[in-house]
Amino acid sequence: MGTRKCNQITSTGEPGPGDGGKTGSWRVLRPVIDPNVCIPARKNINACFICWLYCPDCTITRTIPPVIDYEYCKGCGICAEECPTKAITMVEESKFSSKG
Amino acid sequence: MYIIESGNVAAAIGVKLARAQVIAAYPITPQTPLTEKLSEFIESGTMKAAYIPVESEHSALAVCIAASTAGARAFTATSANGLLYMHEQLHWAAGARLPIVMCVVNRGVGAPWTVWNDHQDSISQRDTGWIQIYVNDHQEIIDTTIKAFRIAQEVNIPVMVCYDGYILSHSHMPFDLPDQKLVDRFLPPYNPEDCLDPKNPTNLNSVTLPDVRMNIRGELAHGYMELRYLLQEDLRRSIQVVADVEKHYKEIFNRGEGPYLEEYRCKDASFIAVSMGSLSFQLRVAVDALRKEGIKVGVIGIRLYRPFPDKAIVKALSKADGVIVFEKAISYGYMGTLCSEIASALYKNAKTPFVHNYILGIGGRNIRTEDLVDALRNSCTKGKNTDSADTLGWIGLKI
Ligand code: SF4
Ligand code: SF4
C-alpha cells in the first residue's frame, strides 16, 4: 500500500512519538532504566519524570515505572544524561541482538 | 477604462486589484518602481495590505513564505541578482506548496555587473518548481498578474510573472484597467484549509525521511520522494489549470490569447520563429518584412515556460520545415534552454523540422530588427545547411 490516500501535499506532522519515522532503527546505544534506582519505580510515586520531559522523541511514558518505546527511541542518551539519580545506563545495542 | 502607464505600474495595479495582503520586497533596478508604487498605495490607504520592509531579497521571500503559510495572499517582486539571492527560498516556497506570486522584471545577471535586460535571471530559476509565465505587453502584465494569483491558488504552486526590464517595465503603453468588481468575481479570497493555527500546532516541512512513515494518527504519510513527486505531478496538471483559468478570465474580461503561446502568421508558415517576452512582438515586424520577400514565416511567443506545454508546442511547430529559436539566455556550456527543450519535444515526432538557435540581447545588447530579418532569412533559405544547426548563432555580437 502506498501513500496516495494521504491528503497532505507538504510535509506536516504533529508532535508525538513516531512523527520522525522509525527512529528506533538509528539506535546504537540503548537506554536501560534500573528500577532499583529510578525514583518513581523505587518509591511508587508520581515524581521526577525528568527523562519523560527531556526525551526529544516523546518515547518515554510518564508512568510508574517509566517505559521506553524502543521502536522510536533513537538512542541519543539525553535521558541518561539528565536523569538525576543516574538510573539510566546506555548499553550497546549489539549486546541485545547477540542474545537474539 | 484605458490608462497610459509604465509596465511596473501595470503590475502594481494588478497586485492591488488582486487584493494581495502582504507585500515584502527589496528594491532592485528595474523592479524598483513596482514596489515603490505598491508602498504608495498602502501608505495612502488605497490598498489594504501589510508592506514589510526587509534587508534583502532572501528575506523578502522568507516573509512571503511565512505570510502565505499563515493564510495571507502574498506578493513579491525582484530582478537579476535579487532573484538569484532568493534561490534557496524559491525551492522552499515551491516545496512548501505556497501560492505566492512574484513579478520578475527580467535583467541580466552579474558578473560583470549589468542593469539591462535579458532573461538569464528567471531562466536560471527554471528548476525551482515555480510556474513561469513570460508576457509581452502592459495589458498582459496586469492581466497575468491577476491570473497568476488564481493559478497559484488552484494548484498550490507559486507563480513568476516575467516581463522585460526597461522594454516593458519603464515604457508607457495604454492598457485597459480591469474593474475591481469583476476581478473580485474572478479571484475569490484566499482561504486555505491548512494554515498556521496556534490552537493546533504542527511541524511544517521539518526533516522528512527517505522512506514513508506512519504518522502519530497511524496513517501512512509521504516521505520526501512522494512529496517531490506530487510537486511534479501537480505542475504537469497545472498545464490544464492555466488554460482553464485563462478561459475563465476571457469569459469575464473578454480578452486574452492562447494560454500557452501566441501565434502570428503561423497558419501557412513553413518556418516559425520562437521566442519569449517582448522579443516575440519585435519578431512580428521581421516576419512582416520577410513575408513581403515571399518567405512563408510566422512567429510564436511562448507564454507558459514552466510547466513546459510540450504538447501545444509540438502541435504548433511540427508541421513547419524549420524552427528558429531566439533567446535572451543560455545554458552555459550548451545552448539556449528553450531551444533544447523544443528540440527534445519535437524529437518524438515522425517529421522533425530543423531547429536553429540564436542568442541575442544579452545584457541589454541592442536588438536590431534588420538583424532579426537577416538571421531569419538565412535560416529559412539555407535550412539544415547553415552553421547554426551545429553551433549557436549570436546576433549583434561584435567580437
Ligand atoms: S529521570 Fe531517572 S529517576 Fe527520573 S523518572 Fe526518569 S529514570 Fe527515573
Ligand atoms: S535515548 Fe532516551 S532521550 Fe534519547 S530517544 Fe531514547 S529514550 Fe529518548
The answer to whether residue A70 sits within a structural domain is: yes
Judge whether residue B217 has pLDDT over 70.
yes
Q: In terms of residue numbers, what domain contains A56?
A: 24-94
pTM of the full predicted structure?
A: 0.90
Model pLDDT, residue B385: 66
Grid cell at residue B293: 520577400
- State which ligand 2 atom lies nearest to the alpha carbon of A76: 4
The answer to whether residue A79 sits within a structural domain is: yes
pLDDT digits (tens, 9 = 90+) for A8-44: 899 888 877 677 778 888 899 999 999 999 999 999 9
Judge whether residue B390 has pLDDT over 60.
no
- Residue from the list A9, A12, A16 with its beta carbon closest to the beta carbon of B230: A9
- pLDDT confidence of B90, banded at 50, 70, 90? very high
- 3-state secondary structure at position B327: strand
Torsion angle, alpha carbons of A2, B222, B131, B248, to 10: 60
Q: Is ipTM > 0.95 here? A: no
- pLDDT confidence of B383, banded at 50, 70, 90? confident
The answer to whether residue A2 sits within a structural domain is: no
- State which ligand 1 atom lies nearest to the alpha carbon of A37: 3
Query: Which chain A residue has its CA at the smallest distance from B69's CA?
Result: A10
In the reported structure, the alpha carbon of residue A23 is separated from the centroid of ligand 1 by a whole-number distance in angstroms of 22
CB contact under 8 A, B220 and A2: yes
**Closest listed residue to residue B25, CA positions, set B82, B106, B99:** B82
CATH number for the domain including A64?
3.30.70.20
Model pLDDT, residue A100: 44
DSSP assignment of B44-104: TTSS--EEEE-SSHHHHHHHHHHHHHTT--EEEEE-HHHHHHTHHHHHHHHHTT---EEEE
Residue with CA nearest ligand 1 atom 3: A38
Are A23 and A57 a contacting pair, CB within 8 Å? Answer: yes
Model pLDDT, residue B391: 65
Residue with CA nearest ligand 2 atom 2: A79
CATH dotted code for B2-186: 3.40.50.970
The answer to whether residue A84 sits within a structural domain is: yes
Ligand nearest to the CA of A48: 1
Q: What is the mean pLDDT of chain A?
A: 91
The answer to whether residue A67 sits within a structural domain is: yes
- CB of A64 within 6 A of ligand 2: the answer is no
Query: Which chain A residue has its CA at the smallest distance from B233's CA?
Result: A9
Query: Which chain A residue has its CA at the smallest distance from B232's CA?
Result: A9
Model pLDDT, residue B352: 87
Which residues of chain B does CATH 3.40.50.920 include? 261-394
- CB of A66 within 6 A of ligand 1: the answer is yes
Q: Does A19 contact chain B (CB < 8 Å)? A: yes
The answer to whether residue A9 sits within a structural domain is: no
Question: Number of H helices and number of E strands within chain B?
Answer: 13, 18
Percent of chain B whose pLDDT exceeds 70:
98
- CB of A32 within 6 A of ligand 1: the answer is no
Residue with CA nearest ligand 1 atom 8: A38
* List of chain B residues whose C-beta atoms are within 8 Å of the C-beta of residue A17: 216
Which residues of chain B does CATH 3.40.50.970 include? 2-186
User: CB count, 10 Å around CB of B311?
Assistant: 11
The answer to whether residue A41 sits within a structural domain is: yes
- State which ligand 2 atom lies nearest to the alpha carbon of A74: 5
**B148 contacts: CB under 8 Å, gap ≥ 6:** B101, B131, B133, B159, B161
pLDDT digits (tens, 9 = 90+) for B315-374: 999 999 999 999 999 999 999 999 999 999 999 887 889 999 999 999 999 999 999 999
Torsion angle, alpha carbons of B121, B314, B298, B366, to 10: 10
**B259 CB-side CA count, 13 A:** 23
Number of domains in chain A: 1
The answer to whether residue A11 sits within a structural domain is: no
In the reported structure, the alpha carbon of residue B84 is separated from the centroid of ligand 2 by a whole-number distance in angstroms of 41
Question: Which contiguous run of DSSP H or E holds residue B131?
Answer: strand B131-134
Judge whether residue A97 has pLDDT over 90.
no
Judge whether residue B265 has pLDDT over 80.
yes
Q: What is the mean pLDDT of chain B?
A: 95
Judge whether residue A99 has pLDDT over 70.
no
CA distance B227 to B234: 10
**B156 CB-side CA count, 13 A:** 20
Yes or no: domain B261-394 corresponds to CATH 3.30.2040.10: no
